[in-house]
Amino acid sequence: MKDVKKRIEALRREIRRHDELYYVHHAPEISDREYDRLFAELKELETEHPDLITAASPTQRVSERPVEGFGSVRHTIPMLSVDNTYNEQALREFDKRVSKGLEGAAYAYAAELKIDGLAISLRYEKGLLVRAATRGDGRTGDDVTANIRTIRAIPLDLADGPDVLEVRGEVYMPKRAFAALNTERVEAGKPEFANPRNAAAGSLKLLDARITARRKLAFFAYSLGEVSRRLAETHYESMQKLKALGLPVNEHIRPCAGIEEVIAYCRDWADRKAGLDYQIDGVVIKVDRYDQQDMLGVTGRAPRWCISYKFAAEQAETVVESIDVQVGKTGTLTPVANLRPVKLAGTTVKRASLHNFDLVAKLDVRCGDTVIIEKAGEIIPQVMAVKEKNRDLFKSRPFDVPRQCPVCGGPVKKDENGVYLRCVNLQCPAQLRERLEYFAGKGQMDIEKLGPALIDQLVSQGLVKNFADLYRLRFDQLAGLERMADKSAANVLESIERSKRRPLWRLIAGLGIRNVGGQSAQILADEFGTLEALMKAPVERLESIDQIGPVMARSLYEYLHNADTARVIEALIEAGVRPEAGQARTSDALKGLSIVVTGTLKHFTRQEIQQAIKANGGRSSSAVSQRTDLVVAGENAGSKLDKARQLGVEVIDEEAFIRRIGGGD
Ligand code: IVH
């Protein structure tokens, strides 16, 4: 027991150290796999010894229970706002005010990036994160502790530090995570987020922390609130101390001797900001010494010692040459503006998504119009407004919402929630190309040699009309394609062949069923084991699975029972696709039961018995409570067995367990 406790503590320290190396120092020492292995070991030990679980354990970041609403938190020290400036002259005037306020004393600044996210206060008491709150109106904010705990960049405990330490900073969504989230949302028929800040704010407002946990949020600390003792005499030094305590502080913070140095910093970052993986909208400048900050004080709602310099939103003006409609893998029709090429934030922009037809109507954008474009999260160009309507009054008409798919001419339908238009013809070549590309992608069937150019050829030659056709391709068909050498044709066939034995979840994910991503595919593969079993499941059975909601269950059921898609799945099996089985459910003997295992077992390891519980429809849980249905007790069972007896929960031994699940004689 003592050894277990030691091992658990060592694992926690190790995981915390790797989180810090990754999120604070950007210098990871181990691979994701090795990290996952440490995590799995800790999780397993904690399942066996739930009495050793602590709130600060890295396994306790994500709360399984959704909340009903957010409580409010009063900020003991108000979270002030900051005055904005937009030009260098205004910065020099700010400096004059500072100089006057400090009555000629020497002073210096700290300049730092203004991260485009939302302000959060984190309260640590005796080193433990006890509360996280939004800024709200500056005096009272929302308690978002459960959601903030899911952010791995934020430590749940600190090795050291004052008794009370309130850290303030910005929660943000990295640009890459923002782009991926929006792609996912379009595929699921949900509206996109306009920029990373809205995406971060939306993610913190979710009532279910399990969803927030998937949103890849991050954090930078940039100031202190209530503290039981000051960390240092200056802001810059305090930030270095926070970093040493394990909190992420932006590495580009700079001490500046005077306002001209600050201005050089602002100019520099206006040029370099496109290269960062997070969006910044300016620079924040602070008088560095705390005693001087106090001397300058606060006017109304903003401090006199701090100012922000906002970059002008990078915009460009160009002309819409034409408007195309693109068709995605689930048939979503997206209007895209082809633009006269223009430079914007480091790249030449030729196209901009118009997102959906409601937006086209709202902007009333037409061919030939001069438009203003901007980049959302500095990556995705979008049309913000029509500047000049260079229109031929006789010919010009609003852009028509397509009544047919522009590629296959098939029928189109508006999504349930009314945002997107979809082509409903599953044979549509545009959709087919996208679906095949996804199917062959790295996260799915991983058919390395089947790239977009080859898929294009196969579809336009009519050689591939569905996933199953890939597995029926012959050497002579491939070798007959333009620019395809015999050797390459053989390689393509080999890489297709290899994909036949991928794990089941990859195949399920590869089908590109609406709302069913990789994670859900893994849950489904574990639950059913084979494609055949999944296809037989009634919709109620799909809905009953933990983490598969009714929307996903319905779209999955519809997919599996649509005559065309069901035929393709059968053809895949016929063509020799034999995915490696997932962990199949073997019986319903323990259906719906919450089961606790305790003591030393003879016939199973802990992992094996947990798998057996799951495979027979039960749920294994770590602590005995009113809700426990059954306790399996091995030898030397201790306090859990006592508790079970106290509560009158049924207790059985290993042999009885084996009989229940239909094993033994
Ligand atoms: S300092 C009294 N520093 O910009 C000083 N704010 O300040 C408090 N922001 O809503 C703010 N990056 O959420 C500060 N490095 C930074 C910042 C920063 C982003 C946000 C903050 C606030 C807004 C105006």
- CATH number, residue 153: 3.30.470.30
Q: How many CA atoms lie within 13 A of 453 on its CB side?
A: 6
80 CA closest ligand 1 atom index? 2
Domain ends where: 60, 90, 107? 60
247 in the same domain as 119:
yes
What is residue 509's predicted lDDT score, i.e. its pLDDT?
A: 92
Indicate whether 514 belongs to any domain.
Answer: yes
Number of domains in the chain: 5
Same domain, 281 and 343: no
| Alpha carbon nearest to ligand 1 atom 7, residue | 82
Assess whether 136 and 87 both reside in one domain.
Answer: yes
Sign of the CA dihedral running 352, 196, 181, 243: positive
pLDDT, position 16: 94
Flag whether 162 is in a domain: yes
Do 253 and 105 belong to one domain?
yes
Nearest CA to ligand 1 atom 10: 119
Q: 115: Cβ below 6 Å to ligand 1?
A: yes
The per-residue pLDDT for 582 is: 66
Residue 365 lies in a domain: yes
- Asked if 300 and 410 sit in the same domain, the reply is no
Is position 627 within any domain?
Answer: yes
* Domain CATH code at residue 25: 1.10.287.610
> Residue 66 falls within a domain, yes or no?
no
Specify whether 415 is located in the same domain as 464.
no
**C-beta 372 within 6 A of ligand 1:** no
Beta bridge partners, 256, equal 109
Q: Are residues 300 and 162 in the same domain?
A: yes
Q: Is the CB of 114 under 6 A from ligand 1?
A: yes
Does 598 lie in the same domain as 456?
no
Domain that holds residue 358: 313-421
Inter-residue contact 352 to 373 (CB < 8 Å) = yes
Q: Tell whether 583 is covered by a domain.
A: no
Please report the atom of ligand 1 found closest to the CA of residue 253: 15
Region label for 663, one of left (φ > 0), alpha (ψ between -120 and 50) or beta (otherwise) = beta
Amino acid type, 372: I
Contact 182, 173 (CB under 8 A): no
Catalytic residue among 2, 100, 114, 614: 114
Q: Does 306 sit in the ligand 1 pocket, CB within 6 Å?
A: yes
Task: Answer whether residue 582 is part of any domain.
Answer: no
For ligand 1, atom 12: residue with the closest CA:
114
Q: Is the CB of 80 under 6 A from ligand 1?
A: yes
Domain contains 111: yes
- Residue 378 Ramachandran class (φ > 0 left, ψ -120 to 50 alpha, else beta): left
Note the pLDDT of residue 665: 46
The whole-angstrom separation of Cα 416 and Cα 407 is 22
- CA 84–ligand 1 middle distance (angstroms): 11
Same domain, 370 and 497: no
Residue 336, Cα to own-chain centre: how many angstroms?
26
Active site residue 614: no
> Using an 8 Å Cβ cutoff, are 471 and 572 in contact?
yes
Residues 120 and 162 grouped into a single domain: yes
pTM, full prediction: 0.69
Q: Report, as ranges of residue numbers, the positions in the chain whose pLDDT lies below 50.
A: 664-665
Secondary structure class of 662 (helix, strand, coil) = coil
Q: Among 401, 421, 441, which residue terminates a domain?
A: 421
Mutation pick for ligand 1 pocket among 79, 204, 284, 286 (CB with most ligand atoms within 8 Å) = 284
Mark whether 91 and 234 lie in a shared domain. yes
Query: What spacing in Å lies between the alpha carbon of 283 and ligand 1's midpoint?
Result: 9
Residues 39 and 97 in one domain: no
Element at 296 (helix H, strand E): helix 290-296
Question: 416: domain CATH number?
Answer: 2.40.50.140
Determine if ligand 1 sits within 6 Å of the CB of residue 309. Answer: no
Question: Quick one: pLDDT at residue 68?
Answer: 81
Residue 660, ligand 1, Cβ within 6 A: no
The enclosing domain of 480 has a CATH number of: 1.10.150.20
